[in-house]
Amino acid sequence: MLRDLSAPAVAMGVLAAFVGYAASFSIVLTGLTAMGASEAQAATGLFFATLGMGLCSLWLPALTRTPAAVAWSTPGAAFLASTAVLPGGFAEAVGTLIVCAGMILVTGFVPALGRVVAAIPRPVASALLAGVLLKLCLAPALALGAIPKLVAPVVAAWALGLVWNRLAAMPLAVLAFVLVLAFGVEGPAGGIQNDIALMPALTPVMPVFSVQAVISVALPLYLITMAGQNIPGFAVLEMNGYAVRRPAMLRNTGAASLLIAVFGAVPVNMSAITAAMMAGEDAGRDPAGRYWAAMVSGLAYVAMAFAATRVTSAFALAPNLLITAVAGLALIPALVAALSAAFSNTRQIEAPAMTFLIAASGMTLWGVSGAFWGLVLGVGLWGVKAAAGR
């Protein structure tokens, strides 16, 4: 095993972990906070989400000898950020995270469930994702109008990163955020305390379950995680010539998600973007040794997990508009990709449009969120038009 280790794999693994974390940790924190988590609960959730994807990124590549990169559910966190606080508060949100993780685990044992998710028309699934992301993607513009002195440097750094290298966009934006936080935001005397513990209080949250929360949050979260992360992640590995055992991978990530969900962590799943980085030639000439890149990224994630309390404390000093602006910038490429896929079939634009608009509206009907209704109506309209041959 050690003879497969190479310098390119180590370098790419560290880079992928840094890019993956910097590009999306703000989204995870925004999602947890939006669902009612306190600062301590958000730190705990971030810690376990990072630890979960780190340990899975160590275990799965070693087991499969493939660059099976694991990440947290970024679109799932974005969905949580766009969802209204549940009546039961964060405890009910934790209940939905547990149910979602359980559904992923069950899918690993019942492959037919995965086929059902895969059977959802891709434009409709993409429209659902786009609708979920839209609210957060509007945040940078809204924040720019409200607090331009704080947001403009972050947006400028993000744009500069895009021009230079798209993978550098969010790391530069996060660096600009830190500088703005240090020099432009008034915080407590002395700033962030130096004696902050490396590990947050590892206290599980007693979950609250309800049928409405399962339908409104857990089911859409499961579908978004499967369609937006797991299925593309599998496809990236297969396109690079690796054999993929989907049920086994779903069982592993589902079990890990279930274990960390009680601490308020979002699900972990197969990664597409970082997997693409680590499955290519930049991670080593020999495809058989590229699994080390994913394992190195796992080690890096485990180390990063212990920064959760400091990261959360830093974000607690920033205005909420600035935080959501950073999260929104990270999601713009995903929104563009989702919209492009949603309206790729010019003969079937009404169903994706309905799904997108209802999911983006934030409406609720009978206590059930618009994400669920948008998907139901979109799939229904797609099926009717397909049956009519139009």
Residue 388 lies in a domain: no
Residue 363 lies in a domain: no
Residue 41 lies in a domain: yes
Residue 286 lies in a domain: yes
First to last CA, the chain: 55
pLDDT, mean of residues 42-52:
93
Residue 369 lies in a domain: no
Instruction: Read off the pLDDT of residues 168-204 as tens digits, 9 standing for 90 and up.
Output: 888 888 889 888 888 877 655 444 555 566 677 777 8
Residue 390 lies in a domain: no
Paired residues of 365 in beta bridges: 368
Residue 34 lies in a domain: yes
Instruction: Read off the pLDDT of residues 290-309 as tens digits, 9 standing for 90 and up.
Output: 889 999 999 999 999 998 88
For residue 81, what are the domain limits? 2-345
Instruction: Read off the pLDDT of residues 111-127 as tens digits, 9 standing for 90 and up.
Output: 888 888 878 888 888 88
Is there a contact between 45 and 37 (Cβ–Cβ < 8 Å)? yes
Using DSSP, state whether 297 is helix, strand or coil: helix
List the alpha helices (DSSP H) in the chain: 7-34, 39-64, 74-81, 89-109, 111-119, 122-146, 148-164, 169-184, 211-213, 219-225, 231-239, 246-261, 273-279, 291-305, 308-317, 320-342, 350-361, 370-388
Report how far residue 250's alpha carbon sits from residue 41's, in angstroms, rounded to the nearest whole number: 26
Predicted TM-score (pTM) of the model is: 0.83
Residue 244 lies in a domain: yes
Q: Considering its fold, how many domains does the chain have in total? A: 1
Instruction: Read off the pLDDT of residues 325-354 as tens digits, 9 standing for 90 and up.
Output: 888 887 788 788 888 888 988 888 899 999
Angle between helices 7-34 and 320-342 (to 10 degrees): 110
